[in-house]
Amino acid sequence: MKAPKTFPPGKGQVLYAKSKVYIHVTSNKNDNIPGYLTIVKPFPDSKNDELIISFIPELDLSIEDKTTLDYFDLYGLDGEKNDFYSNNKNDINGKNFPQIIRFIDRPRISSISSYAFGAVINQLYTIQVRPKKTSLWEGSIILHPKQENDKLPALFFHDDESLGTKREQKLKNQNFEPYSENQIGGNSLYWGGDRFISCLKNYATLTESTLETGMFLINCTQEDAMNFVPNILNNDQNKDDNSYDFNAEVNQVLTTAKWNLLTGLASITGFAKKQINNAIDNKILPQSLQKYVERSEVKKITDDFDSASVYLAKWALSVQEEAEKNRKMIIGNEYYKELISVELGDKFIELTPLEVSKAARRGKMNKEDWNKFFDSNGSLQFTIHEIIGQIFHSGLEEDIRKDAWLFLLGVFPWDTTVSEREQLKKSLENNYIEYKNSWKADLTKQENDAFWKDQKVRIYKDLKRTDRDVDFFKSSKGDDSDDDYDDDYDGSYWNEEDEFGNETLFHNKNLLVMRDILFSYNELNYNLGYVQGMCDLLAPLYCVLKDEAITFWAFSNFMERMERNFVRNLSGMKAQMVTLTELVQFMLPDLYVHLEKCDSSNLFFFFRMLLVWFKRELSFLETMDLWEIMWTDYYSSQFILFFALAILQKHSKIIMKTLKGFDGILRYINDLSGKLDVQDLLTRSELLFLKFKQMVELIDRTSAGTSFNSKQAGEPVKPISDELRTLLSKEIVIEKEETRTSETPFG
Amino acid sequence: MAGQKKTLLKVIILGDTEVGKTSLMQQFINGKFSQQYKATIGADFLPKDMIIDDKNITMQIWDTAGQERFQSLGVAFYRGSDCCVLVYDVTNLKSFENLTSWRDEFLIQANIKDPDNFPFIIIGNKIDLEEGKRLISTKKAQALSNSLGNLPYFETSAKESVNIDQAFEVVARCALKQEEIMEFNDDYTDAVNINVDDDNYNNCAC
Ligand SMILES: Nc1nc2c(ncn2[C@@H]2O[C@H](COP(=O)(O)OP(=O)(O)OP(=O)(O)O)[C@@H](O)[C@H]2O)c(=O)[nH]1
Ligand SMILES: [Mg+2]
């Protein structure tokens, strides 16, 4: 068949197409951009070296063009009737022209608004081919343009998704020739990029570098050949001794320089960054995006692509990924599975209803029980471990919380007498007044300090919305809960003012006290400031303790361990989410596998729960039941993670049976709010902790000894990850916010 | 596909903290206003069934946190949205000024392919508050909506249930339209798969 003399306007002729070629924008597979790799003849009179190699994202294609490319992907140049094997040397200007002549929109060489890109063959320098080696890694290619600073992203061939590649593989297998057509780096199996190389060879000379396998020079000049294919060079020199008179040393330097550039690889970061910078410079983005990128913060980000907002956006991903690093160690590791079932029992890891009911919690500690722990001087007559153990196992009745919490929160040391505590209390009160005065008496601060004023707005906004359903914080202007919302309300009582002449909208003096405590905490911990969620932590404390100064110190001590939840870069939350994910892998492997399938293995839905220790999921009183147990640090300072684990454990059967997607799981877990049985979950938490500890000890014991066991299992023994190990520690994990500077944003 | 099956539309509500996102969602879905909603942490969604032009749809309305520090978490929930509602408080200038950043942030983080045609709706909330407190006039808000591409604009009160249903009906229509564009693409890929099934090509034993 002859080459057509004219093309439809704006179209080019398809010479090759491969479907399901991807750009991996980040390491998260959700960010991958699927598209087609094509070779297109742009004009009827284009020569072989004027063909365009292009990547076209699926989303950029018209339906017509997509159909055309799918057809080419599936059947190739010769159409469905002809043998796939007739791999004739085709030449677009010669006789063996492809049977099938189809056109698509002429691909663009570059595009700012999408990931599309292309290159004319004569502008390409090399092509780097990384064949598929194992089923875990996709094969890929990278095109290197002659313009050294033009970097193009790697293209990955997802063979399992490409209908064309699957068909080719099948045909090859039927013919007992499963191997790659272009032997690169030894025998490899046929893969998606293979055909592309074969096809490209029809239009260009590819010379493989002898310096690195898989690096092909495209229509290379002799000079290039000297640099990259020394063998050729030697041969050529033998033929014609004088033509390449060069200074070997200089050449060597040049070679390395070029090489470094090429092997510096087209990292997508560089690519995207370049795209954005280009776009900013040339003002060719859609208007909305143009404005966005002109903002100085965004400019900063494009300078340092991994900084702030991008880092944060990838937050959830990294939780998942870090946890996955350890995944293979535990899940599906037959050695550990067997070890645990042999040593600890077949179903050790499961909680049976019998186990749970046997371990049921004791009744709460009452005033009488509490008093028995102290002598007439108010000194503890038992060991701290004993009283803590008692509290951990039974919890406290409401009327002793006021006393007991002060010990649990470290306001008073356990080993003090009544009179010592009274003295201590006095000095704490005085200290508090100092913090309080440092803002209350400082009118300049109140009027001029931008940070302080911003904090004030934030604190007001949140206090207004803090536990207004609890009597202690209800509006004095009457109850306007959902049921009896006051229709006659005329708006007037919203104008209540605080002492600064600001509207408070609180109508509750307890909230005003809480405001003072939070302002004062700002003075104590200026770096952290107020962050949403902190008023949730304060409310139960003040409601129980009722004394402003004492509550302030109790809150400050509580914040010691909770500060890690609120630091700006969320690193403390991330660490806990990672640990929880690993704990789920370790203790509930089947559930974890299911969550992975549902895109939920980052356990996103636990974010809020861990941030404010289930305050939003539990009633006000249940929250207190939970927190006082956590404060004992009886087994672990991070026992809260076992409580989270217990929730998953309790619901794992239902989740695995009925829930199939991220939305569904999020909904299900969110809907548990108000339905969590704290006592039952605490029982489970304890059992799970004890099992966890036993398992770790068992694994440690076997790892510590000789490698006898591990050799037998053909598997190196891997220790428990550091994150999991810290769960055995009672030491509070402290992470402080970074020092506030004039650059630090308020939020 | 469009016949009996209910169409699921994902709608995301964005805006500064305290502008009334949670209150708007609750008013629309449960017909209630309460002073007792807490500041949102993380994200949550509620479903609402509606009928639009004889079509059964389920709107999945996502409420996110407004505080800066937790916004990055919302990002995980942006993907796959069919419509985005941008809310500000008519008595809070900053919340109005931030609308454009919310929009841009959404476009970028949700990885929207065709940013100029993605449906946004602007809502100015709390119009029940007395006139003297109002800082953004209707005219000013309309000018912004126009400049962002003639976006539909509504003034609402979540508290007194003013204009809520009207606003969300437009949200539903916009989302539906957006969803149809996407579905069109999906159907196409389906068709290709069916062809290949007939030829048994994807049962290959390799
Ligand atoms: N007067 C009036 N107040 C409102 C209206 N809508 C919400 N509010 C109040 O404004 C405050 C904030 O409302 P929310 O719905 O919690 O605000 P949000 O946007 O969800 O805030 P975040 O969750 O922090 O992002 C609450 O005190 C509400 O009672 C309204 O239409 N009129
Ligand atoms: Mg909210």
- C-beta of B17 in contact with ligand 1 (< 6 A): yes
Pocket test of ligand 1: the residue of A460, A461, A465 to mutate, having most ligand atoms within 8 Å of its CB, is A465
ipTM of the complex: 0.81
Asked whether residue B28 carries a pLDDT value surpassing 60, the answer given is: yes
Q: How far is CA A166 from the centre of its chain?
A: 32
Ligand 1, atom nearest to B38 Cα: 16
User: Could you say which DSSP state residue B145 is in?
Assistant: H
User: Exposed, middle or buried, B17 (CB in 10 Å: 0-12/13-18/19+)?
Assistant: buried
For residue range A139-161, list pLDDT tens digits in order. Answer: 888 888 887 666 778 899 998 88
Asked whether residue B87 carries a pLDDT value surpassing 70, the answer given is: yes
Cβ count near A249 (within 10 Å)? 8
Residues 106-125 of A with CB under 8 A from B: 114
For residue range A219-273, list pLDDT tens digits in order. Answer: 877 766 665 554 443 443 333 333 333 333 333 333 333 333 333 222 223 333 4
Domains and CATH numbers, chain A: 11-232 (no CATH), 296-360+570-728 (1.10.472.80), 409-565 (1.10.8.270)
For residues A49 and A121, what is the distance between their CA atoms, to the nearest angstrom? 5
Q: Touching check for A289 and chain B: CB below 8 Å? A: yes
Residue pair A559/A727 in contact (Cβ under 8 Å)? The answer is: no
Task: Identify which ligand lies nearest to the alpha carbon of A461.
Answer: 1
Q: Do B79 and A30 touch (CB under 8 A)?
A: yes
Mean pLDDT of A638-646: 97
Cβ count near A86 (within 10 Å)? 12
Chain A positions touching B42 (Cβ under 8 A) are: 604-605, 607-608, 611
Q: pLDDT-based confidence at B124, cuts 50/70/90?
A: very high
With H, G, I as helix, E, B as strand and everything else as coil, classify residue B64.
strand
With b meaning 16 or more CB within 10 Å and e meaning fewer, what string describes A356-366? eeeeebeebbe
User: Exposed, middle or buried, A497 (CB in 10 Å: 0-12/13-18/19+)?
Assistant: exposed
First-residue to last-residue Cα distance in chain A: 68
For residue range A577-588, list pLDDT tens digits in order. Answer: 989 998 998 899
With H, G, I as helix, E, B as strand and everything else as coil, classify residue A497.
strand
Please report where in the chains the tokens 């911003």 appear, as a residue.
A454
Top-confidence residue, A285 or A156: A156
CA A555, A559, A562, A563 torsion: positive or negative?
Answer: positive
Of A114, A178, A465, the CB nearest to B37: A465
CATH 2.170.130.10 is the classification of domain B7-180 = no
CA B186, B192, B196, B197 torsion: positive or negative?
Answer: positive
Q: Which of A132, A159, A163, A174 to mutate to test the interface with B (most CBs of B within 10 A)?
A: A163
Cβ within 8 Å of residue A45, ≥6 positions away = none
- C-beta of B22 in contact with ligand 1 (< 6 A): yes
Residue closest to A678 by CA, chosen among A655, A653, A650, A652: A650
Span of A444-458, A476-490, A605-619, B119-133 with lowest mean pLDDT: A476-490
Helix (H) or strand (E) holding A195, with range, is helix A192-201
Residue closest to A155 by CA, chosen among A38, A65, A310: A38
Cβ within 8 Å of residue A187, ≥6 positions away = A179, A180
Cβ within 8 Å of residue A271, ≥6 positions away = A151, A152, A153
Report domain extents, chain B.
7-180
Of B33, B41, B205, the CB nearest to A533: B41
